[in-house]
C-alpha cells in the first residue's frame, strides 16, 4: 500500500538536516509512529516520479541493521520520505565525550553487518557513512539510514552541499577535484566507517575545523596526512581494526567479511552488552546538554 499525507498526523520536529526537516508523524491507519523527512527539490513532476521509482528499491532493504522504509510521495516540489522512527535519535548527538570500547564494538558490528547487507543483497554502496546517519532506539538497536539509492535524488542534492566535516575517503576527495562524479567503490565506505569510529570514540570529528585555516587545508590533511588513529586508551585490537579501515590506499582496506572476522567484532559477539542501559544514559546526558545550551543562550541574552 502507498502512504500519503492525509493519513499522517504531524508531531514534533526531530531535527534539521542539510536538505530538509525531519518530523515525527503518526500513520493514522496503522497507528505506527514514523519519521518523515521533507526534501525540497526544484524539479519537474517527471523527475520527481523518477525519484519515487528509484526509492522503491528501499522496500527490499529489510534487515535488523537498516532503518525501515515505509514509503515516499511528493507534494509540489517536496519529496516526503517516511521511515521507521528511532526514538533515541542519531549517534552524533549521543556520543558525548566519546563512547566506551564495548559500546563502540557493538555499534561497529551493526554498521558492518548493515553495510554488508546493502552491498551483498541490494548492490548498494552507502556513500554517506557518518555518525549522523546511524540511528539508535531505546531497545538498543543501531541502524543505518540515508544511503544512496536514487541517482536522480543524489544528483539534485549534490549541488547544495559540501560540508565542512568530510567523511570522504582520500581517493574520493582527489577524484572529485578531477571530475564531478568522483570514484566510489565499497572501500570508500570502509574509510568513512573507520573515521566514524574515531569520531564516536573521541566525541568529536577527527579533523576538527578549528585546527585548519580553511576547508582546503582540512581536505589536504585527509589526502596527504597520516590516517587518524583511535586514542591510546583503546585496546590494541580495536586500534588494529580501525587501522584496517583507514588505509590511504583503497584496495588495502579490509572487506566487510574480513572486518566481521576481526577479533574486535568476534569479541563483541561473545560478550553480552546492556545497550538499552547505555542508550538511556546517553539520551539523558544529551538532553541535559541541550537544556544547558538553552539556559546559557538565555543567560547571554538577559
Ligand atoms: P542530515 O541531512 O544531516 O543527514 P537528516 O535530515 O537525515 O540529517 O536528519 C536530521 C536529524 O533528524 C537527525 O540528526 C536525527 O536526529 C533526526 N532523525 C532523522 N531520521 C530520524 C528517524 N528515522 N528517527 C528519529 N530521528 C531521526
Return the percentage of the chain with pLDDT > 90, whole number: 74
Instruction: At 82, give phi and psi (nearest 5°).
Output: -105, 130
Would you place residue 177 in the very low, low, confident or very high pLDDT band (cuts 50, 70, 90)? Answer: very low
Question: Which residue, judged by its Cα, is nearest atom 7 of ligand 1?
Answer: 17
Residues contributing to the annotated binding site for ATP: 37
Would you mind telling me the total number of residues written for the chain in this entry?
A: 302
Q: Which residues of 62-90 are buried (b: 16+ CB within 10 A; e: fewer)?
A: ebebbbbbbbbbbeeeebbbbbbbbbbbb
Q: What is the pLDDT of residues 211-231, one digit of tens each?
A: 898 888 999 999 999 999 999
Question: With a cut of 0.90, is the ipTM above it?
Answer: yes
Average pLDDT value for the chain: 91
Q: What residue owns the CA closest to ligand 1's atom 4? A: 17
Q: Is 128 a catalytic residue?
A: yes
Query: pLDDT tier at 240 (50, 70, 90 boundaries)?
Result: very high
- In this predicted structure, the answer to whether residue 75 has a pLDDT above a threshold of 70 is yes
pTM for the full model? 0.92
Taking the mean position of all CA atoms in its chain, how far away is CA 120? 19
Q: By alpha-carbon position, which residue is closest to atom 26 of ligand 1?
A: 89
- DSSP assignment string, 167-200: ---HHHHHHHHH-SS----HHHHHHHHHHHHHHH
**Cell of residue 47, nine digits:** 523527475
Sign of CA dihedral 261, 263, 264, 268: positive
121, 122, 123, 126 alpha-carbon torsion, rounded to 10°: -110
Residues with CB under 6 A from ligand 1: 14-19, 22, 35, 37, 67, 83-86, 89-90, 132-133, 135, 145-146
CA of 92, closest atom in ligand 1: 14
**Is the confidence at residue 110, as pLDDT, over 60?**
yes
Given ligand 1 and candidates 35, 69, 90, 95, which is best to mutate, with the most ligand atoms within 8 Å of its CB? 90
Per annotation, catalytic residue among 92, 128, 146, 268: 128
Atom of ligand 1 nearest to the CA of 87: 25
Q: Does residue 162 carry a pLDDT above 70?
A: no
CA 170/CA 175 separation, integer angstroms: 8
Amino acid at each position: 500500500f502507498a502512504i500519503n499525507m492525509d493519513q499522517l498526523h504531524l508531531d514534533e520536529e526531530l531535527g534539521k538536516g542539510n536538505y530538509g526537516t525531519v518530523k515525527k508523524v503518526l500513520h493514522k491507519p496503522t497507528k505506527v509512529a514514523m519519521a518523515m523527512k521533507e526534501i525540497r527539490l526544484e524539479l519537474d513532476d517527471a523527475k520527481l516520479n523518477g525519484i519515487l521509482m528509484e526509492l522503491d528499491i528501499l522496500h527490499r532493504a529489510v534487515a535488523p541493521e537498516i532503518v525501515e522504509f515505509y514509503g515516499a510521495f511528493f507534494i509540489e516540489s517536496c519529496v516526503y520520505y517516511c521511515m521507521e522512527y528511532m526514538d533515541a535519535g542519531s549517534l552524533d548527538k549521543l556520543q558525548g565525550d566519546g563512547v566506551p570500547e564495548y559500546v563502540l564494538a557493538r555499534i561497529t558490528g551493526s554498521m558492518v553487518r548493515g553495510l554488508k547487507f546493502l552491498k551483498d543483497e541490494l548492490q548498494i554502496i552507502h556513500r554517506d557513512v557518518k555518525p549522523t546517519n546511524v540511528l539508535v532506539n531505546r531497545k538498543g538497536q543501531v541502524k543505518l539510514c540515508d544511503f544512496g539509492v536514487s541517482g536522480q535524488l543524489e544528483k539534485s542534492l549534490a549541488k547544495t552541499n559540501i560540508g565542512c566535516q568530510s567523511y570522504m575517503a582520500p581517493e574520493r576527495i582527489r577524484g572529485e577535484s578531477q571530475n564531478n562524479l568522483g570514484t566510489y567503490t565499497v572501500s570508500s565506505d570502509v574509510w568513512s566507517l573507520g573515521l566514524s569510529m574515531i569520531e564516536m570514540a573521541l566525541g568529536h570529528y577527527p579533523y576538527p575545523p578549528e585546527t585548519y585555516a580553511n576547508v582546503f587545508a582540512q581536505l589536504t590533511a585527509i589526502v596527504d596526512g597520516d590516517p587518524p588513529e583511535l586514542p591510546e586508551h583503546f585496546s590494541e585490537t580495536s586500534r588494529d581494526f580501525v587501522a584496517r579501515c583507514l588505509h590511504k590506499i583503497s584496495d588495502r582496506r579490509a572487506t566487510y567479511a574480513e572486518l566481521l572476522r576481526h577479533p574486535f567484532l568476534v569479541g563483541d559477539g561473545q560478550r553480552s552488552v546492556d545497550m538499552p542501559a547505555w542508550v538511556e544514559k546517553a539520551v539523558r546526558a544529551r538532553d541535559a546538554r541541550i537544556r544547558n545550551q538553552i539556559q546559557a543562550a538565555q543567560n547571554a541574552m538577559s
